[in-house]
Structure 1
Amino acid sequence: MEGTYMNMNVSVLLVNQDFCYAATHSLKYFYTATSGIPHFPEFVTEGLLDGLPITYYDSNIRRETPRQDWMAETEKYWDEQTQISIKTEKSFKGNIAVAQQRLNQSGGVHSFQRMYGCEWNDVTGATDGFNQYGYDGEDWLTLDLKNRRYIAPVEKAAITKYKWDHQKGLIERDINYLTQDCIDWLKIYLVFGEKTLKRTVLPSVSLLQKSPSSPVTCHATGFYPRSVMVFWRRDGEQVYEDVEHGEVLPNEDGTFQNSVHLTVKLEDLDSRRYECVVQLPGVQEDFVTRLENTNQAAEGSGSSGLIIGAVVGVLLLVAIVCGVVIWKKKKDAKKGFAPANSEY
Structure 2
Amino acid sequence: MKTLKTLLLLFQVVSAVKHSMRFYFTLCSGLPNLPEFTIVADFEEVRMGYYDSSMKAPEARHDWLRKLMEEDPEHWERIVLDSMRYQQLLQGETEGFKQNSSQTAGVHITQQVLGCEWDEESDRVDGWKQYGYNGEDFITFNLQTETWIAANPRAEATKQEWDRNGANNGFWKSFLTNVCPTWMKMYLKYADMFLQRTAPPSVSLLQKTPSSPVSCHATGFYPDRASMFWRKDGEEIHEDVDHGEILPNHDGTFQMSVDLNISSVKPENWSMYDCVFQISGVKKDVITKLDKAEIRTNWGKTGRTVERNVSHTIISVVVALVSLGVVIAVVGFTVYKKKKAKNPPPDSDKSFELSEKLNPEP
Instruction: Classify the TM-score, shorter chain.
Output: 0.7 to 0.9
Instruction: Check 1:104–1:276 CA distance in 2 against 1; reply closer, same or farther (3 A cut).
Output: same
Aligned length: 300
Letter in 1 for 2:82: I
Instruction: Check 1:209–1:24 CA distance in 2 against 1; reply closer, same or farther (3 A cut).
Output: farther
Instruction: Check 1:122–1:83 CA distance in 2 against 1; reply closer, same or farther (3 A cut).
Output: closer
Q: SS of the counterpart of 1:193?
A: helix
The gaps in structure 2 that reach 5 residues or longer are: 1-12, 300-305, 337-362
Measure, in 1, the Cα distance between the counterparts of 2:258 and 2:136.
Answer: 26
State which drifts further: 202-211 or 75-84: 75-84
Instruction: Check 1:40–1:163 CA distance in 2 against 1; reply closer, same or farther (3 A cut).
Output: same
Query: Once the 2 structures are TM-superposed, how far is the Cα of residue 46 of structure 1 from its aligned partner?
Result: 2.3
2:223 to 222, 225, 233: 225
State which drifts further: 72-81 or 186-195: 72-81
Aligned to 2:118: 120
Query: Once the 2 structures are TM-superposed, how far is the Cα of residue 93 of structure 1 from its aligned partner?
Result: 2.9
Superposed counterparts of 1:127-142, under 5 Å = 127-142=125-140
Aligned to 2:344: none
Aligned to 1:302: none
Percent same amino acid at aligned positions?
Answer: 37
Q: SS of the counterpart of 1:33?
A: strand
Query: Once the 2 structures are TM-superposed, how far is the Cα of residue 227 of structure 1 from its aligned partner?
Result: 2.2
Letter in 1 for 2:35: P
Aligned to 1:208: 206
Query: Once the 2 structures are TM-superposed, how far is the Cα of residue 34 of structure 1 from its aligned partner?
Result: 1.5
Aligned to 2:347: none
Instruction: Check 1:180–1:245 CA distance in 2 against 1; reply closer, same or farther (3 A cut).
Output: farther
Contact 1:111–1:324 at 8 Å: present in 2 too? no
Is 1:283 the equivalent of 2:293? no
Measure, in 1, the Cα distance between the counterparts of 2:48 and 2:326.
Answer: 24
Superposed counterparts of 1:146-295, under 5 Å = 146=144, 148-240=146-238, 243-262=241-260, 264-268=261-265, 270=267, 271-272=269-270, 273-293=272-292
Instruction: Check 1:31–1:75 CA distance in 2 against 1; reply closer, same or farther (3 A cut).
Output: same
Query: Once the 2 structures are TM-superposed, how far is the Cα of residue 266 of structure 1 from its aligned partner?
Result: 0.4
The gaps in structure 1 that reach 5 residues or longer are: 1-18, 298-304, 330-344
Letter in 2 for 1:318: A
Is 1:45 the equivalent of 2:30? no
Letter in 1 for 2:53: S
Query: Once the 2 structures are TM-superposed, how far is the Cα of residue 282 of structure 1 from its aligned partner?
Result: 0.9
The TM-score normalised by the length of structure 1 is 0.73
Contact 1:141–1:157 at 8 Å: present in 2 too? yes
Instruction: Check 1:79–1:182 CA distance in 2 against 1; reply closer, same or farther (3 A cut).
Output: closer
Query: Once the 2 structures are TM-superposed, how far is the Cα of residue 75 of structure 1 from its aligned partner?
Result: 4.8
Q: SS of the counterpart of 2:130?
A: strand
The TM-score normalised by the length of structure 2 is 0.70
Aligned to 1:34: 28
State which drifts further: 235-244 or 35-44: 235-244
Q: Say what the alpha-carbon RMSD is for the aligned residues.
A: 3.2
Query: Once the 2 structures are TM-superposed, how far is the Cα of residue 285 of structure 1 from its aligned partner?
Result: 0.8
Instruction: Check 1:248–1:165 CA distance in 2 against 1; reply closer, same or farther (3 A cut).
Output: farther
Is 1:325 the equivalent of 2:328? yes
Instruction: Check 1:327–1:180 CA distance in 2 against 1; reply closer, same or farther (3 A cut).
Output: same
Measure, in 2, the Cα distance between the counterparts of 1:234 and 1:183.
Answer: 47
